[in-house]
Amino acid sequence: MIQDLCIIMLTAGIVSLLFKLFRQPVVLGYIVAGLIAGPYMFGESWISDNESVETWGEIGVLFLLFAMGLEFSFKKLIQIGNTALIAAGTIVVGMMSVGFLTGRLMGWSEMNSLFLGGILCMSSTTIVFKAIEDMKMGGHKFAHVVFGILIVEDLFAVILMVVLSSIAVKKQFEGTELLFEIGKLIGYLVLWFVVGIAIIPSFLKIFRKHLNNETLTIFAIGLCLGMVLLAIQAGFSSALGAFVMGSVLAETIEAERIEHLIQPIKNVFGAIFFVSVGMMINPSLLIDYWLPIIIITFIVIFGQIFFGSIGTLLSGQSLKVSLQSGFSLVQIGEFAFIIAVFGQNAGITDASLYPIVVAVSVITTFLTPYIMKMSKPAEQLINRHISKGTKMFLENYAQKRNSAKTESTWKKYFKKVSGIVLIASIICIFIYILFFQYAAPFILTKSEWFCSVFNEKWADLITKIITLAALLIVSSPFLYYIVARYRISDEVRELWKQGNHQKASLAGLYLLRLLIGMAFIAYALYKIFTLTTGMLFGLSIILLIIISFSRRIKQQSRRLEEGFSTNLTAREVSADKQRPIGKHFVSKLLPYDIHISDFTVPTESEFSGKTLSQLNIRKESGVSVIRIIRGGVFTNIPGGNKHVYPGDRIVVAGSDEQIDKFRIMLDKSQHPDKNKHNNKDRNHVTLENFVLETGNPFIGKSIVESQIREKTQCLVMGVERDNVYIMNPEPTLVFMENDVILVAGETDKLRAFIG
């Protein structure tokens, strides 16, 4: 095992280093390393125990998805708006359809074609992030759109894995089964997310001072593996559990710290996973299937460009941003490998699909940076050939889509109520499932104890009442959310004044909430007691009224809600304090070709000490300086006489081209060669000692009287006298003959002083 791990790490390290030199993604290097170490390249595998490598690879998948979850955040999904949802939806539907149709036209089975469609609709988050970072385009508007699309695609990939897992078990595809699995998945995601946010951030906050890096790493991995076990027990994949726990921890204020600590572990096991991917590739199969590889490569590139650009355009972005987004998504990545490996291991896809997918991924990943650069020529070409009317239509459409829309009071209220009712209902369902599976049987078996005090009939009744009371105590805050939360609010008062139509709508919505609450209570009564329909209905109404108007239950539900809200917004509140510009201001710029970016002035820069007027930033680059941050102090809309110093954060607003010009302007202000020369000439501080021999003028004088510090800028660090060290001596210490003086100072001055 140690030998295998050594071979994997050394091969991966050497090959990835070569790929780094050629500025290619490290992931490709890992795959090539696996190809070299595998059984197909040289006729014999360098690895003796393939099962151990597969196990390590599975662990690598968990850490990859855990790290993706830390970058994901379900709250971000809610906040990204319609742009990412519409664009990602267009890509998913379009690429899945084209992928499935391509597979069928090539004579593949329905299952292979279905997996191919799922694989082709997901771009590589890692590769896109790396390409944008290398091209220094992270501040461009299209980058934020692409990141939102990738977030939605990651979530869809998780859903797809769950659906494909179900298909793998039943060996067939059913529409009703798909809906059931999606509903089940949504239910579990909501439950795990709500419970996780309610508990984990509070725990981390209480023990934060005791969570050093070591403890936090172990705790985070433990939570990840714990959620993996829960996911497996619930019938989902282990990868889903890792992803969900990552997304829960992404909402905590420790998210960045955890992400930093997990990074090395993810890199190690992730490398093993991609090496194991490469080990499964048979080069001879690539030669045999060269035609499908070429066809699918063209489908990925042109399909992603088309559907990505059209989807982003439909969401209301400009032609430029839409093309930049589409040209950035022209590859398949991590999830494609995971799904392909899953299909092969489950035995529901042909062995040829896996190497074809990997080959396509390698080709498209290699071409990604070059294709991204082609978006500008493509935009210029389209602009030359479309009519003025089409241009005006696209501009008006984008402006209309991005203009602020006033949401009606009824819509606001309905969204608020439906959200809380849905979440509370899901939690209640799981409470009921767990209660009747574990707690109720335990309580009901205790009726024998009551028989010693009461007769059998009364003992049975008391036990059932206790069972019902226990269930209602646990579920009452959530039943209150279903029935009574937001029953009286500002929106309700406003709608009630608007006439009979709105009153009827409010009454209908409230009646629906009552029926949902009654259904839960009636089910509990039905499971515990033997009652007639009338009694069941009557008791449900009475219990529901008690829950709705109980002050204690209301206070308890409010405390739960406040705690959850605090935990959910803790990271955002912390981030807002560090944010160079408010989110509200940034959102106002969305309809325009202007966005915000911030830069830090380097230590050695010609900007230092100059005023904004002297730098002439607006004329040279076109950007507007809207804020300067220095030591946590904000200067908004600084004037021309404002000086700039090293370490200042300059917040600017402008178009992509203008911000690029400012970045170049700031980079050119540095002179590394000059700084290197200056640093070389500087004197270094060193430590020297000398003996006070007979006749030395310092003998009989104190440290103060000798004026060593004043004359030489040297500091007496210690005195050795009769083999005893006096460290950091007092200024009044008198030097004696044969004392050994320990002095610190600049090298040249010390030598001149001692010499």
- For the chain, domain boundaries: 2-381, 409-565, 595-678, 683-754
Q: Residue 718 pairs with which residues in a beta bridge?
A: 727, 742
Express each pLDDT in 79-138 by its tens digit. Answer: 666 778 888 889 989 999 999 999 999 988 888 888 888 888 888 776 777 677 667 776
Residue that is written with structure tokens 């980058």 in the block: 143
What pLDDT sits at residue 130?
Answer: 67
As a whole number of angstroms, the distance between CA 177 and CA 159 comes to: 13
Q: For the domain covering 2-381, report its CATH number.
A: 1.20.1530.20
179: number of Cβ within 10 Å: 10
What pLDDT sits at residue 675?
Answer: 46
Q: Exposure pattern of 213-245 as b/e (b: 16+ CB <10 Å)?
A: eeebbebbbebbbebbebbeeeebbbbbbbbbb
Residues of the chain with pLDDT under 70: 1, 43-45, 73-81, 126, 130, 133-134, 138-139, 162, 165-178, 181, 333-334, 402-407, 444, 446-458, 573-593, 671-684, 747, 750-751, 753-755
Is CATH 3.20.20.150 the right assignment for the domain spanning 683-754?
Answer: no
User: What DSSP string runs through 70-127?
Assistant: HHH-HHHHHHS-HHHHHHHHHHHHHHHHHHHHHHHHTT--HHHHHHHHHHHT---HHH
What pLDDT sits at residue 222?
Answer: 92
As a whole number of angstroms, the distance between CA 605 and CA 646 comes to: 7
Tokens matching residue 651 = 């917040």
What pLDDT sits at residue 233?
Answer: 82
What pLDDT sits at residue 679?
Answer: 47
**2-381 with 595-678: one CATH topology?**
no
Instruction: Single out the residue of 666, 682, 672, 664 nearest to residue 749, CA to CA.
Output: 682
User: What DSSP string runs through 688-706?
Assistant: EEEE--TT-TTTT-BHHHH
Express each pLDDT in 501-553 by its tens digit. Answer: 888 888 888 899 999 999 999 998 888 887 777 788 888 888 888 888 888 88
Q: For the domain covering 595-678, report its CATH number.
A: 3.30.70.1450
As a whole number of angstroms, the distance between CA 678 and CA 363 comes to: 47
What pLDDT sits at residue 114?
Answer: 85
479: number of Cβ within 10 Å: 25
